[in-house]
Amino acid sequence: MSAITAGRAPKVSGAGASDRPSVPPRRLGLHVFLSAVSLLWLAPLLLAVYASLRPYQETAKYGYFSWPRHLSFDYYREAFTQSGMAQHFLNTLIIAVPAVLLTLFFASFVAFCITRVRIRGGFLILILFTAGNLLPPQVMVTPVYELFTRVPLPYWMSDSLTMYDSYWGVIAIHVAFQTGFCVFVMTNFMKALPEELREAAIMDGASVWTQFWRITLPLCRPALAALATLEFAWIYNDFLWALVLMSSGDKMPVTSALNNLKGQYFQDYNLLAAGSVLVALPTVILFFILQRHFIAGLTLGATKG
Amino acid sequence: MRPKADLEPAVDTGPTGPVATAAAPTQGRRRPRAGRRRIRRLTTRDRLVIGVLLGLPLLLTLVLVWATTLASVGLSFTNWDGIGSAKFIGVDNYKELFTNYPPFATAIWHNLLWLGFLALVATPLGLLFAVLLDRQIRFSRFYQSAIYLPVVLSLAVIGFISQLLFARDDGIVNTVLGTTGQGGHPVDWIGDPHINIWVVLVMAGWRHAGYVMVLYLAGLKGVDPSLKEAAAIDGASARQTFFRVVFPVMRPVNIIVGVITVIEALRAFDIVYAINGGTNGLELLSVLITDNIIGEASRIGFGSAIAVVLLLISVGCIIAYCMTELREEKS
């Protein structure tokens, strides 16, 4: 089921060490090719980091592809403080954490109803969620915008007094949209789970909630971990929804706020690079720590449990 | 577990009661004894739990995804500007779109170009990487991580990084090409409306190839090795084995990759919006929609018509996808 992808490699490299002298030339060519590709794939990021460490005057004079004369973290400080990035990171968390938790919870329950309780029309529900996730978000943009401007919220929920320009609206659209993908993945995953434990629980008279929360969900931990990682990255990376559904700059999540940095300092690409690196950093760190889950999350959907 | 505590008095679970277990075959529902394994006696509390916890996400998706999509279709036949009242104007928006709105043709062309580039360049590249990395070679994990890394970046960040790489006077690409400095003719990668779409495509493909690679790596791991051995015994070359045996066996992955490729191409928005707001050679359907709606013009009816065109293209792909799924479910 995919986690294999990450697991196999180290063993191979360990075994390969002993028969290294006998590596055929074709293998060498393969390594040269793959190293070149890897470098090419990493280059844009590395160059962005490099540029962000150098003052604009220097890169403007000598170009980005030149030896450094002066390196500093000044742009990071500037990008972080002047755009109020701490606040934007907080906004991202305010949006992404509840959205991911709600999405996973709802998706698991829907998948549970489809695969375990086998409710009537389960397959139709599955199609409804999965196909909904495939629709282009731009088709929904206008009606969602118009709807949210008309839904009133009390002041303690949103100072805009409507769903528009509030965290609630952005969370709601993320949950509605992302549940589709998660239902699809969780349904495939739950289909492959053993039934015996739950059947025994049913014999003992366990309620649907108990069957779900205490018996099925704990078995889904690998899938939930994978989806949580992936969904967090996706919602973190979202650019469109916050841009369309929010008007106050100080409520923007960090990815959309990056656009402001560009507006304020149109010329200074080095500052923009520092901002981009700062915004990319959490997902890159997450990727290195949780790579297995990332890959599992993507491939769970593709390889049918 | 506290089995008894969760059990409500079984009021409506009689043999003929409306049992909400859909998958039970019809005759099973009539004769509860025979189809016992399938029948779940749901208590009132169970129904309440299902009603609320299934109902909420369903409602959310139906309202925010499906109803809004249908609303877009409806609005596309009106001249609504977001403030006044909407007037039904038939297919006038579509007429104008196809005859009197030059960016539309450009945007369609760019979206198709995007699709073609991802499908013909980036996706095969991802497949190639997967095939190369699937052999048990050293450093495989490093190569995989490097190629996969761009996938975790947001497309907006990729858009900003592109500007850095492809800047005209001091960008890295031009410096490497040696076109900067005195007497050189630096290529204006981002500013030239004939070139910039290709720059964006390269960056989108850069990310897409990693995505495809991961999916195919998982797919290749799932291929039964005895199939390859059998093909080898029959005298098939490595190339033949791959194209005639391995690739067709990965059909489920191929479908997913196909769907993702189409969807990515149609949704494309962030990169171009981050670069220049989707103007000057970077027009896309998604950008035209947002421009007509949240832009100053606020031509909601017209913007919706563009959205419907985008929708029709996607729906074609989604239906094709669902049909395949449905066929698999039946078998």
- Residues B278-328 have pLDDT tens digits of 888 899 999 998 888 776 667 888 889 999 999 998 888 768 766 776 676
Distance from CA of A90 to the nearest CA of B (A): 18
Query: What is the SS3 assignment for B302?
Result: helix
Question: Tens digits of per-residue pLDDT, B220-252?
Answer: 888 888 888 898 888 888 888 888 888 888 877
For residue B213, the chain A residues in CB contact (below 8 A) are: none
Q: How far is CA B220 from the centre of its chain?
A: 22
Chain B CA closest to residue A213: B1
Beta bridge partners of A236: none
Does the structure show a pLDDT above 80 at B44? yes
Structure tokens at A101: 């938790």
Structure tokens at A134: 């495939």
Confidence of residue B71 (pLDDT cuts 50, 70, 90): very high
Confidence at residue B155, expressed as pLDDT on a 0 to 100 scale: 85
Are the C-beta atoms of A121 and A129 separated by less than 8 Å?
Answer: no
For residue B180, the chain A residues in CB contact (below 8 A) are: 63
Instruction: Report which secondary-structure segment, H or E, holds A278.
Output: helix A269-302
B82/A141 Cβ within 8 A: no
**Higher pLDDT among residues B21 and A80, named by residue:** A80
Confidence of residue B104 (pLDDT cuts 50, 70, 90): very high
**Cα dihedral A81, A82, A84, A85 sign:** negative
Q: Give φ, ψ of A124 to 5 degrees.
A: -65, -40
B164/A273 Cβ within 8 A: yes
Please list, in sequence order, all residues whose beta carbon lies within 8 angstroms of the beta carbon of residue B139, skipping any fewer than 6 positions away: A13, A31, A34
What's the DSSP call for residue B8? P
Chain B CA closest to residue A199: B37
For residue A245, the chain B residues in CB contact (below 8 A) are: none
User: Does B266 touch chain A if contact means CB atoms closer than 8 Å?
Assistant: yes
Chain B CA closest to residue A171: B60
B211/A45 Cβ within 8 A: no
Confidence at residue A64, expressed as pLDDT on a 0 to 100 scale: 72
**Mean pLDDT, rounded, for A36-41:** 93
For residue B300, the chain A residues in CB contact (below 8 A) are: 142, 146
Does the structure show a pLDDT above 60 at B22? no
Are the C-beta atoms of A276 and B160 separated by less than 8 Å?
Answer: yes
A208/B50 Cβ within 8 A: yes
Confidence of residue B65 (pLDDT cuts 50, 70, 90): very high
Radius of gyration of chain B (CA): 27
**Cα dihedral B119, A234, A243, A77 sign:** negative
Confidence at residue A263, expressed as pLDDT on a 0 to 100 scale: 58
**Mean pLDDT, rounded, for A267-290:** 86
Does the structure show a pLDDT above 70 at B211? yes
User: Does B52 touch chain A if contact means CB atoms closer than 8 Å?
Assistant: no
Mean pLDDT lowest for which of A40-44, A177-181, B53-57, B191-195? B191-195
The closest CB to that of B289, out of A64, A141, A304, belongs to: A141
| Neighbour count for residue A56 (Cβ, 10 Å) | 16
Does the structure show a pLDDT above 50 at B31? no
Residue B78: name the closest of B65, B94, B64 by CA: B94
Please list, in sequence order, all residues whose beta carbon lies within 8 angstroms of the beta carbon of residue A278, skipping any fewer than 6 positions away: A76, A79, A80, A85
Residue whose token pair is 């027009």:
B283
Beta bridge partners of B105: none
Q: DSSP letter string over B245-297?
A: IIHHHTHHHHHHHHHHHHHHHHH--HHHHHHHSS-TT---HHHHHHHHHHSSS
Confidence at residue B19, expressed as pLDDT on a 0 to 100 scale: 36
The closest CB to that of B160, out of A27, A176, A272, belongs to: A272
For residue A287, the chain B residues in CB contact (below 8 A) are: 148-149, 152
> For the packed helices B285-294 and B251-267, what is the interaxial angle rounded to 10 degrees?
40
For residue B138, the chain A residues in CB contact (below 8 A) are: 12-13, 16-17, 31
Does the structure show a pLDDT above 60 at A34? yes
Q: DSSP letter string over B38-64?
A: T-----HHHHHHHHHHHHHHHHHHIII
Mean pLDDT lowest for which of A91-105, A255-269, A281-295, B235-249? A255-269
Query: What integer best gives the mean pLDDT of chain B?
Result: 81
Alpha helix (H) ranges present in chain B? Answer: 26-30, 44-61, 68-75, 92-99, 102-117, 123-134, 140-152, 155-165, 172-177, 196-221, 225-233, 238-240, 247-249, 251-267, 270-276, 285-294, 300-330
Structure tokens at A73: 């973290």
Confidence of residue A220 (pLDDT cuts 50, 70, 90): very high
Radius of gyration of chain A (CA): 24
B273/A136 Cβ within 8 A: no
Confidence of residue B180 (pLDDT cuts 50, 70, 90): low
Residue B303: name the closest of A138, A173, A177, A145 by CA: A138
**Higher pLDDT among residues B317 and B28, named by residue:** B317
Chain B CA closest to residue A176: B61
Confidence at residue B276, expressed as pLDDT on a 0 to 100 scale: 83
Structure tokens at A159: 């100072």
Q: Give φ, ψ of B88 to 5 degrees.
A: -70, 125
Residue whose token pair is 């973290």:
A73
Are the C-beta atoms of B119 and B209 separated by less than 8 Å?
Answer: no
Confidence at residue A170, expressed as pLDDT on a 0 to 100 scale: 95
Does the structure show a pLDDT above 70 at A3? no
Of all residues in chain A, the percent with pLDDT exceeding 90 is 32
Q: How many CB pairs under 8 A join A and B?
A: 365
For residue B283, the chain A residues in CB contact (below 8 A) are: none
**Mean pLDDT, rounded, for A137-166:** 89
Does the structure show a pLDDT above 80 at B38? no
The closest CB to that of B65, out of A132, A208, A280, belongs to: A132
A238/B65 Cβ within 8 A: no
For residue A137, the chain B residues in CB contact (below 8 A) are: 267
Question: Tens digits of per-residue pLDDT, A63-100?
Answer: 777 778 888 888 888 888 877 889 999 999 999 999 99
**Mean pLDDT, rounded, for A105-129:** 92
Q: Cα separations (Å) of A228 from A213, A265, A294, A298?
A: 17, 35, 9, 11
Distance from CA of A60 to the nearest CA of B (A): 6
Distance from CA of B88 to the nearest CA of A (A): 17
Confidence at residue B297, expressed as pLDDT on a 0 to 100 scale: 67
**Higher pLDDT among residues A297 and A191, named by residue:** A191
Confidence at residue B40, expressed as pLDDT on a 0 to 100 scale: 54
Q: How far is CA B27 from the centre of its chain?
A: 40
Mean pLDDT lowest for which of A1-5, A34-38, A109-113, B111-115? A1-5
Residues 155-184 of chain B with CB under 8 A from chain A are 155-158, 160-165, 167, 169-172, 174-176, 180
Distance from CA of B225 to the nearest CA of A (A): 15
The closest CB to that of B322, out of A117, A131, A201, belongs to: A131
Confidence of residue A22 (pLDDT cuts 50, 70, 90): low
Beta bridge partners of B88: B78
Q: How far is CA A93 from the centre of its chain?
A: 12
The closest CB to that of A10, out of B141, B153, B170, belongs to: B141
Distance from CA of A95 to the nearest CA of B (A): 16
In the structure, how many helices (H) and strands (E) does chain A have? 15, 0
Cα–Cα–Cα angle for B48, B58, B60, nearest 5°? 115
Does the structure show a pLDDT above 90 at B129? yes
**Mean pLDDT, rounded, for A263-274:** 70
Structure tokens at A225: 């971990």
Confidence at residue A2, expressed as pLDDT on a 0 to 100 scale: 39
Q: Alpha-carbon distance B266 to B270, whole Å?
A: 12
Q: Alpha-carbon distance B218 to A70, whole Å?
A: 45
**Cα dihedral B5, B7, B8, B10 sign:** negative
**Mean pLDDT, rounded, for A283-288:** 88
**Higher pLDDT among residues B317 and A32, named by residue:** A32
Does the structure show a pLDDT above 90 at A169? yes
**Higher pLDDT among residues B11 and B196, named by residue:** B196
**Mean pLDDT, rounded, for B247-272:** 85
Are the C-beta atoms of B308 and A139 separated by less than 8 Å?
Answer: yes
